[in-house]
Amino acid sequence: MDRIRNPFSPGAGSPPPELAGRQSILEQADVLLGRVLAKRPEKSLLLTGLRGVGKTVLLNEIERRAVKAGYRTILVEAHEGKSLAVLLAPHLRRLLFELDRIAGAGNKVKRGLAVLKSFVGAIKISVGEFDIGLDIEPESGAADSGDLEVDLPSLFVTVAEAAQERNVGVAIMIDEIQYFKPVELSALIMAMHKMQQGQLPLVLIGAGLSILPGLAGESKSYAERLFNFPEVGPLTEPDAISALQDPVLAAEEEFDPAALKEIFRLTQGYPYFLQEWGYQAWNHAAASPISLHVVQEASDIVSKRLDENFFRVRFDRLTPREKMFLRAMAELGKGPYRTSDIAEQLKVKVSTMGPLRAGLIKKGMIYSPSYGDMAFTVPLFDEFMRRTIPNFEQ
Ligand SMILES: Nc1ncnc2c1ncn2[C@@H]1O[C@H](COP(=O)(O)OP(=O)(O)O)[C@@H](O)[C@H]1O
Ligand SMILES: [Mg+2]
């Protein structure tokens, strides 16, 4: 059928034609945004889930709602090798200038800029031509100890107070939050603790792989008290069917029920895969309704495309030993996997696997969903590994 009218949108962060099955998470976000502006306590949100389940898309949608609810927003994506401070500082600067343009009395915005300037000075960040503004003197003694766990909370307090003075809230949205170092996560958590204590209008909404297993002691117990961790997972069958059928109906075309069932079976409801299958099935069909037969024919193309793109980009960055580690995991089925079972597959001692495992975590291939367990970050990756390396012999 006409490719130009194809409603599906496979791709990282591409908004789907129908954001199916996420009503309860969006409601949680609305409640959070509303309550915090009304000075009522509410836990911040950290959306957790595998790659391709729709976290980025949700974060963008929540940002839209935050703006509507009266927030000024910051949306950043963390990545390996960029510190939290370097990532946030330019955005906080932009936000404070935005607040400065909102009419209102008081000096809290100017103070925010001064504190940001001393914060930036203390961590000696180099963000190119980063300059807060020539006419602002840093406020010495504020957020400039050089200890992030002390300075970030102080900075957030001044930013939130500035926002409060201008009658708006601040929503800080961070994607791929798992890339932060433990001390950065801990600083963020401490900062949110201050927000809650002071009933200040600043919320944090994050998305990524689960961060809890990497936190220890106090920050962990704070995190559990300060955040909700809604799990973003595969869609249920009815939601997956709406995600496919509704956009097609809106285009005045249709899927046969048997075709929808088959796509659900093949994708197991994972949003990225639903978009790929919907997209290819539409293109492959000569006319509506899109039949089971068309889906079956399109499946080869989709599997190949996924193997060559979604899965392969990750696979190609691996060393031979890393590939064998992942293949050993896949040999054990869907996971999560106990480290000792992986070691047994590889016929090595658990104690020797540390560096290999750490490297794979760093590359974003695996993560620890709970203490002592490992899992793939990409859905159905175990099947891909078995397809790509059919024979596993150690
Ligand atoms: N609720 C949903 N229903 C249908 N498709 C979705 C949904 N959420 C996300 N998608 C699709 O899934 C793909 C991956 O979304 P993305 O937000 O990039 O995932 P993540 O950030 O978790 O890796 C995109 O093509 C998007 O259109
Ligand atoms: Mg994403």
DSSP conformation letters of 322-356: HHHHHHHHHHT-SS-EEHHHHHHHHTS-GGG-HHH
Question: Is residue 233 over pLDDT 50?
Answer: yes
Mean local confidence (pLDDT), 62-76 = 98
Distance 322 CA to ligand 1 centre (A): 28
How is residue 60 annotated by DSSP? H
**Residue 175 CA: which ligand 1 atom is closest?**
21
Mean pLDDT on 48-53: 93
pLDDT recorded at residue 132: 57
Identify the H or E element spanning 375. strand 373-376
pLDDT more than 90, % of the chain: 74
Residue reference for tokens 């975590």: 361
Mean pLDDT of the chain: 92
Joined tokens for residue 248: 């097609």
Span from the CA of 54 to the centroid of ligand 2 (angstroms) = 7
Return the amino acid letter for 206.
G
- Ligand 1 centroid from CA 51, angstroms: 9
Rounded distance between C-alpha atoms, residue 314 and residue 318, angstroms = 7
- Of the given ranges (68-72, 139-143, 354-358), which has the lowest mean pLDDT? 139-143
Cβ atoms of 306 and 273 closer than 8 Å: yes
Question: Does ligand 1 lie within 6 Å of residue 377's CB atom?
Answer: no
CA–centroid distance, residue 51 to ligand 2 (Å) = 7
Residues 372, 338: Cα–Cα separation, whole Å: 6
Question: In whole angstroms, what separates CA 179 from the centre of its chain?
Answer: 10
CB atoms within 10 A of CB 234: 23
Output the residue whose Cα is nearest ligand 1's atom 2.
19
CA of 38 to the centre of ligand 2 (A): 30
- Look up the CATH number of domain 318-388: 1.10.10.10
124 falls in which pLDDT band (50, 70, 90)?
Answer: low
Residue 271 Cα, ligand 2 centroid: separation in angstroms? 12
Q: Is 275 in the pocket of ligand 1 (CB under 6 A)?
A: yes
Residue whose CB lies within 8 A of the most ligand 1 atoms, among 176, 263, 275, for a mutation test: 275
Mean pLDDT confidence for 228-251? 97
Q: How is the chain split into domains, by residue range? A: 23-228, 237-314, 318-388
Query: Does residue 54 have its Cβ closer than 6 Å to ligand 1?
Result: yes
Ligand 2 mean position to 375 CA, how many Å?
18
22 pLDDT above the threshold of 70 = yes
Residue 134 pLDDT: 47
Q: How far is the CA of 31 from the centre of ligand 1 (A)?
A: 23
> Which atom of ligand 1 approaches the CA of 51 most closely?
23
DSSP alpha helix (H) spans, 143-256: 148-165, 182-197, 217-226, 237-250
Distance between CA atoms of residues 66 and 82, nearest Å: 26
Q: Which of 231, 263, 272 to mutate to test the pocket of ligand 1 (most atoms within 8 A of CB)?
A: 272
State the Rg of the chain over Cα: 24
Q: Which of 9, 22, 23, 57 to mutate to test the pocket of ligand 1 (most atoms within 8 A of CB)?
A: 57
What CATH number does the domain located at 23-228 have? 3.40.50
Is 208 within 8 Å of 184 (Cβ atoms)? no
**Mean predicted confidence (pLDDT) in 242-252:** 97
From ligand 2's centre to the CA of 137, what distance in Å?
Answer: 38
Judged by its nearest atom, the ligand closest to the C-alpha of residue 271 is 1
Task: Note whether 210 and 227 are within 8 A (CB).
Answer: no
Identical fold, 23-228 and 318-388: no
128 Rama class: left (phi>0) / alpha (psi -120 to 50) / beta:
left
Q: Per-residue pLDDT averaged across 290-311, rounded?
A: 91
**To which residue do tokens 């970050």 refer?**
377
The residue whose CA has the least distance to atom 9 of ligand 1 is 54
Assigned token pair, 86: 């370097």
**Which pair of tokens denotes residue 74?**
């910051």
Asked if pLDDT for residue 206 goes beyond 80, the answer is: yes
Name the residue with higher pLDDT: 216 or 254. 254
Does 13 have pLDDT greater than 50?
A: yes
> Hey, whose CA ends up nearest to atom 5 of ligand 1?
271
Q: What letter would DSSP give residue 202?
A: E
Residue matched to tokens 């591409």: 14
Q: What pLDDT score was predicted for residue 136?
A: 73
The reply to whether ligand 1 has any atom less than 6 angstroms from the CB of 315 is no
Residue 290 Cα to ligand 1 midpoint, Å, equals 22
Ligand 1 atom nearest to 10, measured from its CA? 25
Give the ligand 1 atom nearest the CA of 57. Answer: 17
Q: Is the CB of 22 under 6 A from ligand 1?
A: yes
pTM of the model: 0.91
The confidence score (pLDDT) of residue 141 equals 77
Number of neighbouring beta carbons within 10 Å of residue 41:
11
The candidate with the shortest Cα–Cα distance to 270, out of 374, 363, 174, 376, is 376
